[in-house]
Amino acid sequence: MPMTITEKILAAHAGLDTVKPGDLIDVKVDMALANDITAPLAIRVFDELGVKTVFDREKIALIQDHFVPNKDIASAQQTKIMTEFARLYGIKYYFDLGDSGIEHVLLPEKGIVVSGDLVIGADSHTCTYGALGAFSTGMGSTDLGVTFGTGRTWLKVPETIKFVYEGTLGHWVSGKDLILFTLGKIGVEGAVYKTMEFAGKVIRNLSMDQRFTMTNMAVEGGAKNGIIEPDDITKSYLSEHTNKQYTFFKSDPDASYEKILTINTNEIEPQVALPHSPDNVKGISELDNIKIDQVFIGSCTNGRIEDLQIAAKVLKGQKVAKGIRLIVLPSTPLVYKEALQKGIIETLLDAGAVLGPPSCGPCLGGHLGILAQGEKAVSTTNRNFIGRMGHPESEVYLASPAIAAASAILGKIGSPDDI
C-alpha cells in the first residue's frame, strides 16, 4: 500500500506494515520534551502513575527557555520542579541556564532529534522537527506525563495535504514569507489535524534554517504536523550536528493525499501578518505608513544564525529609528557565539539593538519585551493573537527578519528596498 512520509514514520513506530488516515495507533516515542512552563504539570501526572522511573532517561528532554532567566518567584518555582525531577531520574538532556536555549532550535542543533524520529512535546511548535523529516507534534502536558512513564502514546493517523512550491524566490523573500503566504491562502483552520507536507523545487533549494521556519508554523494552519522529505541538505546538516543513527523516509510517488496545492512563488513578495491572526496576510507593497514602537527578532521561528545574518545585513551602517525598541535574542548560546564571531552582534549593537539571552520571553508576552497599551510591534515570531506579546490593546505584525530589521530603521513597516 503506497504511503506518505508521515504515514511511513507512524507505521514504523507502531510496528505495522501500513497505516491509513483515520487509524488509531499506539506508537513508540523517540523523544519526549517539555519546557519550564509545561514540564511541571507533566511531572505531576508522571508522579500520579506510581511508576518507579522514567521509560528512558536519554529519550526525555527538559529545557529552560520561556521565563529564563527566572523573571519572578513563580517562574523560579517552575524551574525548580523541573531541575529536581531531572536530578532524581538522571535525565540526560536537561538544559539549565547557560547551556539552554529555545527548545526547538536547541534540540536539532545538539543532534538530539533526527530524521525518521517520532517526537512529541508539551509545546505546540514541536512540529518544527518535521524540517528534518521527522514526525513531530505538540501534545498536552497530561499526555506527556504518561509518556514519561511508558515511552508510548496514541495517535490518529492524519490526512496529508501536499503543498508544492514551484518557481523562484524574489528579493528578500524567505521561508517565513512562504509559510505566511500559505496561511493567508488556507486560513488558520485550513489544515486542522492534517499533515502539511512541503515539497517542490523551491523547498528543495531552501536552507535548513528556512525549512525549520516553515514547519514551525504548520500548527498555525491547525496542522498536526509539518514535514519535508529529507535530502542532501538534510544529510549535510545532520553530519555536522549528530552521530545518531537516522532513517530517511520518503513519500511513495503514488501515495494518496487529501489534496495537492501548487503554489507559484514567482509573484510572492515579502509578507506581513496583520493583527490579530497569522492568516491575516498582506504583501509588503499593500501596507502604507504603519508606524511602530518595537521590533523583535528571535524565537523558535526566526532566531537562528541565518536569521541574524539577514538582519545584520539590513542593519549594517544603519541606525534604529529614534523611539523604536529593537530587541534581538539569539536562540541558543551557540547561535549567540557564532553571531559574535562573525561580527553580527557588533553590527546589531552599533545599529542600536538591545541584545538579550536565549529565551522565548517576548514571543508569548512573558518578559524581555512586553508591549504597552496601544503599542505596535513587528515580530519574527509565529503568533499575533490579541494580547500575545503584552497588553490586549497592543498589536503584533508578523514578518521575516529582513522586514523586521528594515522596519526598525524606518520606524514603520517597510522593506529593505525602502531604506
pLDDT tens digits for range 231-250:
999 999 999 999 999 999 99
Determine the pLDDT at residue 134.
98
* Rounded-to-integer distance, Cα 284 and Cα 324, Å: 20
Instruction: For residues 258 and 366, state if they share a domain.
Output: no
Are residues 281 and 254 located together in one domain of the fold? no
Query: What is the tally of structural domains in the chain?
Result: 2
**What is the average per-residue pLDDT within 13-40?**
98
Cβ–Cβ < 8 Å for 326, 311: no
DSSP class of residue 15? Answer: T
Residues 29 and 165 in one domain: yes
Domain carrying residue 402: 272-414
Residue 47 forms part of a structural domain: yes
Same domain, 233 and 141: yes
Q: Are residues 210 and 352 in the same domain?
A: no
Q: Is residue 356 situated within a structural domain?
A: yes
76: amino acid identity, one letter: A
pLDDT of 187 higher than 90: yes
Cβ pair 127, 211 in contact under 8 A: no
Q: Are 356 and 328 in contact (CB under 8 A)?
A: yes
Q: Who's near 329: CB < 8 A, 6+ residues apart? A: 296, 297, 298, 299, 303, 355, 356, 357, 358, 359, 361, 362, 368
Q: Residue 401, preceding bond cis, omega within 30 degrees?
A: no
Question: Across all residues in the chain, what is the average pLDDT?
Answer: 97
Number of C-alpha atoms within 13 angstroms, CB side, residue 31?
31
pLDDT for residue 146: 98
Final residue of a domain: which of 227, 262, 297?
Answer: 262
Q: What pLDDT sits at residue 46?
A: 98
Q: Is the pLDDT score of 198 beyond 90?
A: yes
Q: Is 237 in contact with 105 (CB distance < 8 Å)?
A: no
419 belongs to a structural domain: no
| 7/294 Cα distance (integer angstroms) | 43
- 68-88 tens-digit pLDDT: 999 999 999 999 999 999 999
pLDDT at 401: 98
Q: Are residues 39 and 100 in the same domain?
A: yes
Residue 277 sits in the same domain as residue 256: no
Of 210, 233, 262, the residue at which a domain comes to its end is 262
Angle at 18 between CA 221 and CA 233, to 5 degrees: 55
Of the pLDDT bands very low, low, confident and very high (cuts 50, 70, 90), residue 180 is very high
Average pLDDT for residues 167-173, to the nearest whole number? 96
Is 210 in the same domain as 283?
A: no
Residue 65 domain-assigned (yes or no) = yes
Whether the CB-CB separation of 377 and 396 falls below 8 Å is answered with yes
What pLDDT is recorded for position 97?
87
pLDDT of 390 higher than 90: yes
Q: Which of the listed residues 219, 237, 262 is the one where a domain comes to its end?
A: 262
244 φ, ψ (degrees, to nearest 5):
-70, 150
Model pTM? 0.96
Does a structural domain hold residue 231?
yes
Interval 275-287 mean pLDDT: 97
d(CA 88, CA 164): 47
- What CATH number does the domain containing 345 carry? 3.30.499.10
Same domain flag for 253 and 278: no
Q: Could you report the per-residue pLDDT of 205-224, keeping only the tens digit for each?
A: 999 999 999 999 999 999 99
The helix, strand and coil proportions of the chain, stated in percent and rounded to the nearest 5, come to: 35, 20, 45
- The bridge status of strand 24-28 relative to strand 152-156 is antiparallel
Both 80 and 197 in one domain: the answer is: yes
Mark whether 24 and 93 lie in a shared domain.
yes
Q: Summarize the confidence of residues 350-358 as an average pLDDT.
A: 97
Cell of 323: 523611539
Residue 100 near residue 198, CB atoms below 8 Å = no
> Residue 343: inside a domain, yes or no?
yes
Whether 267 is in a domain gets the answer no
Tell me, what's the pLDDT at 47? Answer: 96
Q: Is residue 276 part of a domain?
A: yes
245 and 282 belong to one structural domain = no
- Name, in order, each residue with C-beta under 8 angstroms of 355's C-beta and a sequence gap of 6 or more: 328, 329, 330, 345, 348, 349
